[in-house]
Structure 1
Amino acid sequence: MNFQLLLIFSASLAVESLFCGPANHIEDIGSYTVIFFGETSEGVFIDCTGMLIPSLNSNETHTDTVITTRYCLQSENHNNIKVLPMILFQLMGPHGNNKILRIYLPNKNVTRRSKTQPQPNIAIVKLRNSFRISSYCLPLCLPEQNEMLSPSISNCIFYRFAEFDHVISFLPLKMNILSHQQCKSTIRNVKIDSSSQICGEEQSDGTQLDTDYHKDMILEGFPLICLKNERAYLYGVQDWLQTTKAGENYKPVVLFTAVSAFINSINLFLNDSIADI
């Protein structure tokens, strides 16, 4: 697997040019990423990754909000989880004491998911302390409420992360976005909700997606990031991955929880208008 080490930049850039999803940082995904980790007498344990998003005030110079996956956080003791920007984790090791203040787990009642479908695999996290926006710590832009990601969009990347002796590496995979009908014909009997899920397959003929159980893989929090108008947008987080082979032309299919389905709910949560868990 061609995991890449995170690039670390030390340049001091103007906040105005950094506020939301500068495309020149898309190759250095660590600028947008935080690590959720715990420390015990046995060592440091990484739970998952998350993506920084803007705070409510677009003029802010700090951000305190992260999107990750429901399965990362729903069963943990949140008081013991620490949060640190990935590049600082790489540079200085696990340190600090920034923790989770509140968590919002969107319910499928705000989507068109059926009773038999699982809850959306997304969590919005408010941190106790904010991080200053810098080249080490950048928020991704968010799509509009219910914004559909067209199959014609070709500049989308699915990032997966792995840990090797506390060094974080990443695997960027360029994705083709599938229409609802293409997705249904590919995954067959699995129900999908076009209002809250995005379906994609790897562009490359030689897939690297069927490595889901690699022993060093961080299991939760993988993002789907797309470039639009020279900005990087967080369109989805991994829901599940289908790797069951289905013929010669088989390609694994990734289903993402669509962030755009929950923009209004996210804003209400950040305004303290929705109760956290």
Structure 2
Amino acid sequence: MRVGRTEDHRTIAGKRLRKSEVLPLQCESKDPDDLFYHEAQISSLCWGPDESFWTEIFFVETFFGSELHYDKYLNPIQDPETNLTLRLDPPTLSYDPTLSSDPREYWLKQLEVRLSQVVQEYTALIGTFSKRMETYVRTPGFMSDRSGHTQTLSDVLETIQNFSDSIGSTIDAWESFRKTQISLFVLEGRRNDAKKPAYSRLLGSIIQSIEELERLRGFLLTQRAKFKSRIENYVAFPLLFTAAIFSMDFVKPKNDSLAWGLFFTVFVVTSVLNGTIAWLLHRSLIQKAVRKLLGLG
């Protein structure tokens, strides 16, 4: 999440190389910050003939400013306490001169640091979005402009789904690793007692980050259910209200034909109103789907 629009104008097959979307509800929540959320990816590859000779290639997203001062990564710094010259290890964001040369421990260290970074980014993003949603639903006249609010709620639901899917992909990737490859670290820890404490500490920290991501995803799913029910209420409320009025026992019209005529009149009006709202909602969703299919949005 960053302030201001920053778009990657490069395209592949008609689509932007990196996605960038506006965070909804700025106007509705009267938030002064023009916030956008951006796609970022990290890739790591480690290989070698054995544990004494290996190579690490690490790719990290810098386009949207997720890495601060990346242009100075290779500049040495002077440690004021030890007076030693230290160099940053970019994949782990560490100046630790005793950083392990064990490829397994080093890979886990990368994963620990980067998952912690993911948690921090999502915590800030979802926290800000949650505040906007709370302010929005408390706005006076929240239900006055139904067509406008239906579109806004639709955008909110789509954003929540995007966040949830993205977090879910990270969690699924960890689960796949845990089921198929974590044994490489567990078995090595059993063979080498000296490495076991480091592996256990790093894996524990990683699992803690995954649990926090699961908590954030659960919060998003709860918010989605709340806002989805609001859309359903917008569409169903007029008709349900009409039916409720004419089903009340204390309504005793003197002229049955007049009562039935009034009922069908109100029924037709509310049906047209509901149909119009539903049509506007589905038209906006269809337009979004078509634009995405054509690579225009």
Higher relative contact order (CA 8 A, sep 6+): 1
TM-score for both structures, normalised by structure 2: 0.20
TM-score for both structures, normalised by structure 1: 0.21
Higher Cα radius of gyration: 2
